[in-house]
Chain A
Amino acid sequence: MNLDQALQTYIVESREMLEAMETALLGLAHTEGEERAESINAIFRAAHTIKGSAGLFGLDQIVEFTHVVESVLDHVRDGKVAIEDALVTLLLSCGDHIGTLIDITESTRADPDESVAQAGKPLLVRLSVYLATPPSPALPAATLVVEADPADFARMGHHGINTDNWHISLRFGRDVLRNGMDPLSFIRYLGTMGEIVGIVTLHDGLPLADEMDPESCYLGFEISFKSEATKGAIEGAFEFVLDDCLLHIVPPNSLASEYIAMIQALPEGPARLGEILVRCGTLTAHELDSALALQAQSEQAAPIGEILVEQGRVQPAVVEAALTKQKQGKDSKAQESQSIRVDADKLDHLINLVGELIIAAAGANLVARSTRILELQESHSTLANLVEEVRDSALQLRMVKVGGTFSRFQRVVHDVSREIGKDIGLVVNGEDTELDKTVVEKIADPLMHLVRNAIDHGIEAADVRIARGKPAKGTVRLNAYHDSGSIVIEVGDDGGGLNRERILAKALERGLVESGKALSDSEIYGLIFEPGFSTAEQVTNLSGRGVGMDVVKRNITALRGSVAINSAEGVGTTVSVRLPLTLAIINGFQVGVGHSVFVVPLDMIEECVAFSAEEGHDYTNLRGQVLPFIRLRELFDVEGQKGSRENIVVVKHAGQKFGLVVDTLLGEAQTVIKPLSKMFAQVQGISGSSILGSGDVALILDVPSLMQQTHAAKSGDRASVSA
Chain B
Amino acid sequence: MTTACLPIEGEMTIYRAAELKQTLLTALRGATSLEVDLHGITEIDSAGIQLLMLAKATGQATACEVKLVNHSPAVLEVFELLDLAAHFGDPLLMPA
Give me the interface of A with B, judged by CB distance under 8 Å.
Answer: 1, 150-151, 153, 155-156, 176-177, 182-184, 187-188, 191, 196, 198-201, 203, 206, 208-209, 212, 214-215, 217-219, 221
Which of these, A1, A150, A155, A206, contacts B53 with CB under 8 Å?
A: A206
Note all chain A residues with C-beta closer than 8 A to B17.
214-215
B3 contacts partner chain A, Cβ-Cβ < 8 Å? no
Given contacts A182-B45, A209-B58, A214-B18, contact A219 B50 (CB under 8 A): yes
Which of these, A153, A183, A209, A218, contacts B25 with CB under 8 Å?
A: A209
Cα-based distance from A23 to B92 in the complex (angstroms): 51
Question: Is B83 within 8 A of A198, CB to CB?
Answer: yes
Question: Is B82 within 8 A of A221, CB to CB?
Answer: yes
Question: Is A212 within 8 A of B54, CB to CB?
Answer: yes
Question: Is B51 within 8 A of A201, CB to CB?
Answer: no
Cα-based distance from A221 to B14 in the complex (angstroms): 19
Question: Is B14 within 8 A of A200, CB to CB?
Answer: no
Note all chain A residues with C-beta closer than 8 A to B15.
1
Note all chain A residues with C-beta closer than 8 A to B83.
156, 198-201
| Cβ-closest chain B residue relative to A153 | B81
Question: Is B50 within 8 A of A214, CB to CB?
Answer: yes
Note all chain B residues with C-beta closer than 8 A to A176.
46
What would be 14 A-B contacts, judged by CB atoms less than 8 Å apart? Answer: A151-B77, A151-B81, A182-B46, A184-B78, A199-B82, A199-B83, A200-B83, A201-B82, A201-B87, A203-B53, A209-B25, A214-B21, A217-B50, A219-B46
Question: Is A218 within 8 A of B81, CB to CB?
Answer: no
**Per-residue 0/1 for B54-96: is the Cβ within 8 Å of any A Cβ (1 yes, 0 no)?**
1001100100000000000000011011111001000000000
Closest 3 CB pairs of A and B: A214-B17, A214-B21, A201-B82
Note all chain B residues with C-beta closer than 8 A to A191.
81
Task: Kindly provide the distance from the CB of A641 to the nearest chain B CB, expressed in whole angstroms.
Answer: 77
Note all chain A residues with C-beta closer than 8 A to B61.
208
Q: A182-B45, A187-B82 are in contact. List 20 more A-B contacts (CB 8 A).
A: A155-B80, A176-B46, A177-B14, A182-B14, A182-B46, A199-B81, A199-B82, A201-B49, A201-B82, A201-B87, A203-B50, A203-B53, A206-B54, A208-B57, A212-B54, A214-B18, A214-B20, A217-B47, A219-B49, A221-B82
Note all chain A residues with C-beta closer than 8 A to B50.
203, 206, 212, 214, 217-219
Question: Is A184 within 8 A of B14, CB to CB?
Answer: no
**Per-residue 0/1 for B9-53: is the Cβ within 8 Å of any A Cβ (1 yes, 0 no)?**
000001101101100010000000000000000000111011101
Note all chain A residues with C-beta closer than 8 A to B57.
206, 208
Question: Is B45 within 8 A of A184, CB to CB?
Answer: yes
Task: Kindly provide the distance from the CB of A653 to the nearest chain B CB, expressed in whole angstroms.
Answer: 60
Note all chain B residues with C-beta closer than 8 A to A214.
14, 17-18, 20-21, 47, 50-51
Cα-based distance from A13 to B72 in the complex (angstroms): 35
Most buried by B among A177, A191, A201, A214: A214
Task: Kindly provide the distance from the CB of A100 to the nearest chain B CB, expressed in whole angstroms.
Answer: 24
| Cβ-closest chain B residue relative to A181 | B46
Question: Is B58 within 8 A of A208, CB to CB?
Answer: yes
Note all chain A residues with C-beta closer than 8 A to B46.
176-177, 182-184, 217, 219
| Cβ-closest chain B residue relative to A217 | B46
Task: Kindly provide the distance from the CB of B96 to the nearest chain A CB, expressed in whole angstroms.
Answer: 18
Note all chain B residues with C-beta closer than 8 A to A212.
21, 50, 54
Most buried by A among B15, B53, B81: B81
| Cβ-closest chain B residue relative to A157 | B83
Give me the interface of B with A, judged by CB distance under 8 Å.
Answer: 14-15, 17-18, 20-21, 25, 45-47, 49-51, 53-54, 57-58, 61, 77-78, 80-84, 87
Interface of B is mostly: helix
Cα-based distance from A88 to B26 in the complex (angstroms): 60
Note all chain A residues with C-beta closer than 8 A to B54.
206, 209, 212
| Cβ-closest chain B residue relative to A183 | B46
Cα-based distance from A151 to B78 in the complex (angstroms): 10
Cα-based distance from A28 to B46 in the complex (angstroms): 44
Note all chain B residues with C-beta closer than 8 A to A156.
83
Task: Kindly provide the distance from the CB of A279 to the nearest chain B CB, expressed in whole angstroms.
Answer: 9
| Cβ-closest chain A residue relative to B61 | A208
Note all chain A residues with C-beta closer than 8 A to B25.
209
Cα-based distance from A198 to B83 in the complex (angstroms): 8
Note all chain A residues with C-beta closer than 8 A to B14.
1, 177, 182, 214-215
| Cβ-closest chain A residue relative to B25 | A209
| Cβ-closest chain A residue relative to B44 | A184
| Cβ-closest chain A residue relative to B16 | A214
Cα-based distance from A151 to B73 in the complex (angstroms): 12
Task: Kindly provide the distance from the CB of A226 to the nearest chain B CB, expressed in whole angstroms.
Answer: 15
Cα-based distance from A542 to B50 in the complex (angstroms): 57
Task: Kindly provide the distance from the CB of A511 to the nearest chain B CB, expressed in whole angstroms.
Answer: 65
Note all chain A residues with C-beta closer than 8 A to B49.
201, 219
Which of these, A151, A184, A208, A215, contacts B18 with CB under 8 Å?
A: A215
Question: Is A215 within 8 A of B47, CB to CB?
Answer: yes
| Cβ-closest chain A residue relative to B20 | A214
Task: Kindly provide the distance from the CB of A622 to the nearest chain B CB, expressed in whole angstroms.
Answer: 75
Cα-based distance from A183 to B47 in the complex (angstroms): 10
Note all chain A residues with C-beta closer than 8 A to B84.
201
Task: Kindly provide the distance from the CB of A200 to the nearest chain B CB, expressed in whole angstroms.
Answer: 7
| Cβ-closest chain A residue relative to B22 | A214
Task: Kindly provide the distance from the CB of B8 to the nearest chain A CB, expressed in whole angstroms.
Answer: 14
Task: Kindly provide the distance from the CB of A23 to the nearest chain B CB, expressed in whole angstroms.
Answer: 37
Question: Is B18 within 8 A of A187, CB to CB?
Answer: no
| Cβ-closest chain B residue relative to A210 | B25
Note all chain A residues with C-beta closer than 8 A to B18.
214-215
Note all chain B residues with C-beta closer than 8 A to A209.
21, 25, 54, 58
| Cβ-closest chain A residue relative to B57 | A206
Question: Is B81 within 8 A of A187, CB to CB?
Answer: yes
Task: Kindly provide the distance from the CB of B79 to the nearest chain A CB, expressed in whole angstroms.
Answer: 10
Note all chain A residues with C-beta closer than 8 A to B78.
184
Cα-based distance from A150 to B21 in the complex (angstroms): 29
Cα-based distance from A203 to B46 in the complex (angstroms): 11
Task: Kindly provide the distance from the CB of A418 to the nearest chain B CB, expressed in whole angstroms.
Answer: 43
Question: Is B82 within 8 A of A177, CB to CB?
Answer: no
Cα-based distance from A179 to B2 in the complex (angstroms): 40
Cα-based distance from A188 to B18 in the complex (angstroms): 25
Question: Is B53 within 8 A of A188, CB to CB?
Answer: no
| Cβ-closest chain A residue relative to B82 | A201
Task: Kindly provide the distance from the CB of B56 to the nearest chain A CB, expressed in whole angstroms.
Answer: 10
Note all chain A residues with C-beta closer than 8 A to B53.
203, 206
Cα-based distance from A205 to B80 in the complex (angstroms): 21
Question: Is B77 within 8 A of A150, CB to CB?
Answer: yes
Which of these, B20, B47, B58, contacts A177 with CB under 8 Å?
A: B47
Task: Kindly provide the distance from the CB of A587 to the nearest chain B CB, expressed in whole angstroms.
Answer: 54
Note all chain B residues with C-beta closer than 8 A to A201.
49, 82-84, 87
Task: Kindly provide the distance from the CB of A510 to the nearest chain B CB, expressed in whole angstroms.
Answer: 62
Note all chain B residues with C-beta closer than 8 A to A196.
81
| Cβ-closest chain B residue relative to A185 | B45
Most buried by A among B18, B53, B57, B82: B82
Task: Kindly provide the distance from the CB of B28 to the nearest chain A CB, expressed in whole angstroms.
Answer: 8
Cα-based distance from A184 to B81 in the complex (angstroms): 8
Note all chain A residues with C-beta closer than 8 A to B80.
153, 155
